[in-house]
Chains A and B, each alone.
Chain A
């Protein structure tokens, strides 16, 4: 080594002084060795008359070989320098570091090379606002390195790195690393980081944190051609946002992840032998997986066991964000569930969910389920399906209660099929679902097969459940042989029959879309047959009328349950032989519907002597289009239409002259009639 030879020569020349010399200094312009260079070297020997002689060494610049050439050391000084055989020691070193990465920084160091063991210690290095300590040891080719960086300012790191993917970052970090290896090979590493008050936001705004405390530890050990690794991470404080999930980490409910496995750098494979994710008192999960990272990450296989201890917290933290803006965004789940998921080639292959005593509620959709339990098996392949079931103690949909029951079905691929007919107790009657099969086609219309029967549902119970002002009596039955689902519109074939008011109302052409949205559309055709008007007018107080009523409402179209269009007519059936009588009040109200007042006519003169009037026919019709009702009556009159065509003694005719009536006006008149039970003025 050139420096050693130079120093020996210098010592020989000046080793035997004949006069008293206290200090000797040697200066060398440059010293080169193996791609490193020490420039402006000065070795000073002082207090030559004492033992041992004091050495001090200084150098203007040290340039290291690549890749360390980015670091340049200046003003290197060693106040206490010992050079003995097999022992070189610098106890009080001081130097300045200059690099593109760290700027210009001063630090202290010590160096000892003794018995083929070299120890280099660096301290007081201020980088990114933090304090760096480094210890390097080397003996016979085996080396260790310990690094400790305290209170690193993350904002300064970002300012220096100027990462475009990060919008802003702040916080402090303490990092320690212990590395060991042989020659140029790393064999073991333990990295530990404690990040506090971490507030970060990426450029997209989809990933962010506020005052987060994160502790992370990574252990790596080379075994043969593979690396064994172990990770421990914990979040104990602060808030984190990973779109769409926002999580406030409570001190009592930290989140921790521990994982271990191996890394095969030759085959670019990560084997996750065990992973445990624990959100204290809320949920925990275990997983095993095999991941390849050739060009991108590829999850070849994974098994995940998930246990939700507190579904209420899970639904509000982890589920609700995904439902934001969707029909069940306010859903509340309470209880616990377990799930096992199997993933193959990046796709979910199997899922098994088990739950019991769940409480489900959505105020927005007016839904509640108590003691919901079940076992759900899902498989990616329909042929590998297994039986699933759901059961509940109480189920309320739109305040309509369904009795406790169990549904058995298969759930696989994108299909759901009822395994056996289900009978659901409903409004003192039954809903029998004989067949149900749903098949979703992402690229095409979904296919629905349904055969169902409604038997003797109580209309009074229905009125009660739906909080109708007028409680109906009678029953509702029907048969739905099939349904179709096209362009998000569900259409029911077949029909329903209501035995009501001693007559019958038949419902057909039922269709609906967007029932769970802000804009529901509903389509229906109605046929009214031989209803007893006496019964009808008892429930809807428009005034007493005796007789029968038949008619229809075709192409009824409702938006948000408000009629937009229909063609309807209700009136006295042909060849009706029942008693036809109508009261004063009914006459006035019917007249007011047509927009005229009969009050004056019938409350004065002879007509006021009678309580009831006879009629031959009554009828009212409306073709609703663009908010206007085109009115018709029982039959045509000279300048209008008969709402009531008189017959018998005394008889009265009511003729409507307004053929076009604003629908809102008409509805308001109807509302006032039924609400106040009074005659309305036009």
Chain B
């Protein structure tokens, strides 16, 4: 019987699987930063994000490769990646949301729309006919952008399956950043902040 050398045995047992877990804390930080950027007239150009610059693409690739390649090996370890939010697609979506925010803010304040349980916008109460089309269009465009943003962030980080978690994190942040007087849904019930 062929003997396994001791060092080889140790190497085998020492192998770890690095699973890239959803970076909840980083996502929350990014969500706060993006929402602030949209609501507080902050710059969204790439250079403004140096302090939170994304994980470089090569690093993401390496993590992914490690994750895939070592997943068969015995023990596992948890690794939480950073979250990349710097891509042309994301900047484009953020620019659209930022441009839309002043109009939305006015309707948030009037109480004709609010944040629903999914972190999307919904009409709140009966929207006056005079502004109904504008409000509906804004809601549709904003909701499309929010969904696209979550998809783009998930894709930019090589994990399309993170979409739901990113959305859930953003949902909490939208409510957190809602200003006094705005409406949001808490467990399906409308509440005024």
B141 and A325 within 8 A (CB):
yes
Which residue of A has the minimal Cβ distance to B93?
Answer: A519
Asked whether B91 is an interface residue with its Cβ less than 8 Å from the other chain, the reply is yes
B123 and A664 within 8 A (CB):
no
Bits for A207-245, please: 1 = Cβ < 8 Å to B, else 0.
011100000000000000000000000000001110111
**Which size bracket describes the interface of A in this complex?**
20 to 34
Contacts A519-B91, A519-B96 given: A662-B130 contact, CB under 8 Å?
no
Q: Which of B109-150 contact A (CB under 8 A)?
A: 123, 126-127, 129-130, 132-134, 136-138, 141
Contacts A519-B96, A560-B95 given: A208-B46 contact, CB under 8 Å?
no
**Closest Cβ of chain A: how far from B82's Cβ, in Å?**
14
**Closest Cβ of chain B: how far from A209's Cβ, in Å?**
8
A562 and B50 within 8 A (CB):
no
Q: Which of B46, B49, B133 is within 8 Å of A324, CB to CB?
A: B133
A205 and B96 within 8 A (CB):
no
B132 and A559 within 8 A (CB):
no
Q: Which of A184-212 contact B (CB under 8 A)?
A: 201, 205, 208-210
Which residue of B has the minimal Cβ distance to A665?
Answer: B47
Q: Which of A201, A239, A519 is within 8 Å of B126, CB to CB?
A: A201
Bound CA span A201–B136, Å: 15
Q: Which of B80-101 contact A (CB under 8 A)?
A: 86, 88, 91-92, 95-96, 98-100
Which residue of A has the minimal Cβ distance to B95?
Answer: A519
Asked whether A567 is an interface residue with its Cβ less than 8 Å from the other chain, the reply is no
Contacts A201-B126, A626-B53 given: A518-B132 contact, CB under 8 Å?
no
Asked whether B45 is an interface residue with its Cβ less than 8 Å from the other chain, the reply is yes
Bound CA span A44–B136, Å: 69
Bits for B44-59, please: 1 = Cβ < 8 Å to A, else 0.
0111111001000000
Contacts A205-B123, A559-B88 given: A627-B45 contact, CB under 8 Å?
yes
Which residue of B has the minimal Cβ distance to A244?
Answer: B133
Which residue of B has the minimal Cβ distance to A513?
Answer: B92
**Closest Cβ of chain A: how far from B81's Cβ, in Å?**
18
Chain A residue numbers with a CB within 8 Å of B126 are 201
**Which size bracket describes the interface of B in this complex?**
20 to 34
CB within 8 Å: A-B pair count: 73
A627 and B46 within 8 A (CB):
yes
Contacts A627-B48, A662-B47 given: A205-B132 contact, CB under 8 Å?
yes
Chain A residue numbers with a CB within 8 Å of B127 are 205
Asked whether A373 is an interface residue with its Cβ less than 8 Å from the other chain, the reply is no
A518 and B96 within 8 A (CB):
yes
Bits for A172-183, please: 1 = Cβ < 8 Å to B, else 0.
000000000000
Which residue of A has the minimal Cβ distance to B91?
Answer: A559
Residue of B47, B91, B126 with most partner-chain A CB within 10 A:
B47
Which residue of A has the minimal Cβ distance to B138?
Answer: A325
Bound CA span A611–B47, Å: 38
Q: Which of A208, A518, A564, A627 is within 8 Å of B50, CB to CB?
A: A627
**Closest Cβ of chain A: how far from B58's Cβ, in Å?**
13
Bound CA span A96–B186, Å: 52
Chain B residue numbers with a CB within 8 Å of A239 are 129-130
Bound CA span A240–B129, Å: 8
Asked whether A246 is an interface residue with its Cβ less than 8 Å from the other chain, the reply is yes
Bound CA span A628–B86, Å: 14
Bits for A474-487, please: 1 = Cβ < 8 Å to B, else 0.
00000000000000
Contacts A205-B123, A664-B47 given: A521-B129 contact, CB under 8 Å?
no
Judged by DSSP, the binding face of B is: helix
Asked whether A335 is an interface residue with its Cβ less than 8 Å from the other chain, the reply is no
Chain A residue numbers with a CB within 8 Å of B132 are 205, 208, 241, 243, 246
Bound CA span A662–B53, Å: 13
Bound CA span A627–B50, Å: 8
Bound CA span A56–B2, Å: 123
Bound CA span A201–B91, Å: 39
Chain A residue numbers with a CB within 8 Å of B91 are 519, 559
Chain A residue numbers with a CB within 8 Å of B133 are 241, 243-246, 321, 324
Q: Which of A246, A517, A564 is within 8 Å of B130, CB to CB?
A: A246
Chain A residue numbers with a CB within 8 Å of B47 are 626-628, 662-664
B99 and A562 within 8 A (CB):
no
**Closest Cβ of chain B: how far from A628's Cβ, in Å?**
7
Which residue of B has the minimal Cβ distance to A209?
Answer: B129
Contacts A518-B95, A519-B96 given: A208-B129 contact, CB under 8 Å?
yes
Which residue of A has the minimal Cβ distance to B53?
Answer: A626
**Closest Cβ of chain A: how far from B107's Cβ, in Å?**
13
Contacts A519-B92, A562-B45, A627-B46 given: A325-B129 contact, CB under 8 Å?
no
Bound CA span A626–B84, Å: 12
Q: Which of B26-48 contact A (CB under 8 A)?
A: 45-48
Bits for A509-523, please: 1 = Cβ < 8 Å to B, else 0.
000001001110100
Chain A residue numbers with a CB within 8 Å of B99 are 518
Bound CA span A372–B138, Å: 32
A662 and B92 within 8 A (CB):
no
**Closest Cβ of chain A: how far from B90's Cβ, in Å?**
11
Bound CA span A662–B46, Å: 11
Bound CA span A209–B130, Å: 10
Bound CA span A324–B53, Å: 35
Q: Which of A246, A518, A562, A627 is within 8 Å of B49, CB to CB?
A: A627
Q: Which of A324, A663, A664 is within 8 Å of B134, CB to CB?
A: A324
Chain A residue numbers with a CB within 8 Å of B123 are 205
A559 and B45 within 8 A (CB):
yes
Chain B residue numbers with a CB within 8 Å of A245 are 133
Bound CA span A435–B190, Å: 59
Which residue of B has the minimal Cβ distance to A514?
Answer: B92
Which residue of A has the minimal Cβ distance to B89?
Answer: A519
Bound CA span A324–B96, Å: 14
Contacts A325-B138, A626-B53 given: A564-B96 contact, CB under 8 Å?
no
Chain A residue numbers with a CB within 8 Å of B130 are 239, 246, 248
Bound CA span A321–B127, Å: 16
Q: Which of A233-265 contact B (CB under 8 A)?
A: 239-241, 243-246, 248
**Closest Cβ of chain A: how far from B50's Cβ, in Å?**
6
Bound CA span A628–B53, Å: 12
Chain B residue numbers with a CB within 8 Å of A241 are 129, 132-133
A626 and B137 within 8 A (CB):
no
Chain B residue numbers with a CB within 8 Å of A243 are 132-133, 136
Bound CA span A518–B145, Å: 13
Bound CA span A71–B170, Å: 60
Chain B residue numbers with a CB within 8 Å of A205 are 123, 127, 132, 136
A626 and B95 within 8 A (CB):
no
* Other contacts beyond A205-B123, A325-B141, A663-B47: 10, CB < 8 A: A241-B133, A244-B133, A324-B133, A517-B96, A518-B96, A518-B99, A559-B91, A626-B47, A627-B45, A627-B50
Shortest beta-carbon contacts, A-B, top 10:
A627-B47, A518-B99, A244-B133, A241-B129, A519-B95, A519-B92, A324-B137, A325-B137, A627-B46, A664-B47
16 intermolecular pairs with C-beta atoms under 8 Å apart: A205-B123, A205-B127, A240-B129, A241-B129, A243-B136, A244-B136, A246-B130, A325-B137, A518-B98, A518-B99, A519-B95, A564-B45, A564-B88, A626-B53, A627-B45, A664-B47
